[in-house]
Amino acid sequence: MMTLSRREFLRASGTGAGLGLLATAGITACAAPMKGDIMPKMGRRVVVIGGGWGGATAAKYVRLADPSIEVILLEPNKEFVSCPFSNLVLSGLMSIDSMTFGYDGLRRHGVKVLHEMATAIEPDARRVRVGEGYLQYDRLIVSPGVDFLWEQVDGLSAARDSVLHAWKAGPQTVQLAGQLHAMADGGVFVLTVPPVAYRCPPGPYERVCQVAWYLKTNKPRAKILVLDANKNIVSKTGLFQAAWKAYPNIEYRPASRVEKIDSRAREVTTEIGDKVKYDVINLIPPQRAGTIAVQADLVGADKRWCEVNHLTYESVKHKGIHVIGDSTTGLPVPKSGNIANAMGKICAVAVVHLLNGKEVPPMAPGNTCYSWVSDREAIAVVNAYKIENGKVVQIEQKLTPGASAAVAQNSIGWRTSIWNDILG
C-alpha cells in the first residue's frame, strides 16, 4: 500500500462485471437500464457522489493513499467545469473551454468514473441508488455542491429557464455572457446577491467587477445595479470597496433582498418594496446543500447545510457517510473551491485510516481565494486554520494590500496547480 504522509497532504492542500464495459481506466455505462447490484462489491469500496472540487479530489486521494481500495465516482456530467475563474467568461477574458476538463486523469489513478446520477442514499443498507440499480459501499463520500431555494423568490420557479443564475459554471455562464454582450449601451444589468450562506462569498462581488469593467470598456453609458440581500459586502469588503471606485457605473444597494420577479415586465421587487427595471438580470437564488443530501437527511436543523465531524467530515447524523465541500456547515471556513479541495484530501486520509482500523490524524484545511477586479488586477485572501479540541479554528487571515497585476499573475499559477491537483 502506498501512503502519503500528513505533511505531504498538508503541503498539497496549501497549509503546510456488472456494468457495461469495465475498463482498466474506468467505466463506460451500457445503454440497458441498470437494475439490482450493478457492480457487486469484491473488496473494500468507497463511493463518491459528485465530481466537483471536493468529490474529484477525494476520489483521487483515496486511491493515492491506498490503491487496494476500490473507488467509484458518480458524476452525471462528462466534463468538469471550474466555478472559480468562470466570472472571467462574462467579461471575455477567458473562455469556458479553458476551464473545462475531462476525468481521464482520475481514471489513470484507478478511479472508476460512472457518468450517472446518484438518485438516493440508503444508509442502513450502505448503498447508493443509481437508476433502478444500486452500488454497495463501505464508506460513502458525498460532495453534491449546492442547489437553489427557488421558492424564496416569487415568480422565479416559473422563469428559471430564462432568468439565469450562472452559479454553476457551464452553459448558463456562456448564456449570461451573451446577454451581457448583446445588451444595448445605456442598458441596466441587475445582479442580485443572495443572503449568506451561499457558495463562494466573494464571487458575486468579483462578478460585479467583471461586468462593470466590460461595460466601462464597451458600453460606457450602461450601468450595473447590485441588489444585495446582505447589509454590506460580505467578503474582502474594503478591497472590493476600493476596487469599485474605478467603476462609476456601479450602483450598490445593500439590504435589498429580491422577493419577486416579473420576467415579462423585466422587473424585480425587493423586500423594502423597491421595484427595479432591468435589461439583463443575473439573479443568484438563496442556496442549500445539494438535493441528494437533503433527501438523505444529512442536513441539520436549518434544513440547508450538513453538519460534520471536523476531523473526518463524517456526518453527525449518519455513520459511514462523509460530506465535503459547499454542502457542509459548522466549520469556520468559507464555501470555496480551495476549501472543497482541502476537505477532499483530509476526508480521503480519514476514510483510508478508518478502513484500515487506524486513528485519524488531525488535519486542518487552508484557504486561498483570488478575485479579479479588472482585466489585469486581482485581490486575494488567505486563511489559516488549526485543530483545537477536535474543532477547526481560524488562526489567521491575511489580505492583499490592494488590487495588483502581481496578484492576478499569482492566481494564474495557483489555478493551474490546483486544477492539476484535482484532476491530474
- Residue ranges of domains in the chain: 6-147+289-362, 150-285
Q: How far is CA 43 from the centre of its chain?
A: 31
Mean pLDDT of the chain: 93
Separation of alpha carbons 98 and 81, rounded Å: 9
* Amino acid 65: pLDDT: 98
Pairing status of strand 267-270 against strand 146-148 = unpaired
Cβ proximity of 136 and 285 under 8 Å: no
pTM: 0.92
Per the listing, cell 456488472 goes with 18
* Block residue for cell numbers 468562470: 86
- Taking the C-alpha atoms of residue 189 and residue 250, their distance in angstroms, rounded to an integer, is 10
pLDDT score for 330: 74
Q: Residues 157, 373: contact at Cβ < 8 Å? A: no
Q: Is the pLDDT of residue 168 over 70?
A: yes
**CATH code of the region 6-147+289-362:** 3.50.50.60
One-letter amino acid identity for 138?
Answer: D
Instruction: Give the lowest-confidence range in 18-32, 52-66, 211-225.
Output: 18-32
> Residue 4 pLDDT > 50, yes or no?
no
Which grid cell is 114? Answer: 460512472
* Tens digit of each residue's pLDDT (9 = 90 or more) over 81-113: 999 999 999 999 999 999 999 999 999 999 999
Lay out the sheet containing 188-193: strands in order across: 250-253, 223-228, 188-193, 280-283
* pLDDT at site 32: 52
Q: Answer whether residue 331 shows pLDDT above 90.
A: no
3-state class of 281 per DSSP?
strand
Helix (H, G, I), strand (E, B) or coil at 397: strand
> Quick check: do 6-147+289-362 and 150-285 share a fold?
yes
For residue 35, the model assigns a pLDDT of 85
Query: Alpha carbon 68 to chain centroid distance?
Result: 29
C-alpha span between 228 and 256 (Å, rounded): 5
CATH architecture of 150-285: 3-Layer(bba) Sandwich (3.50)
What is the mean pLDDT of the segment spanning 125-150? Answer: 98
The answer to whether 377 touches 407, Cβ cutoff 8 Å, is yes
Q: Is 56 helix (H, G, I), strand (E, B) or coil?
A: helix
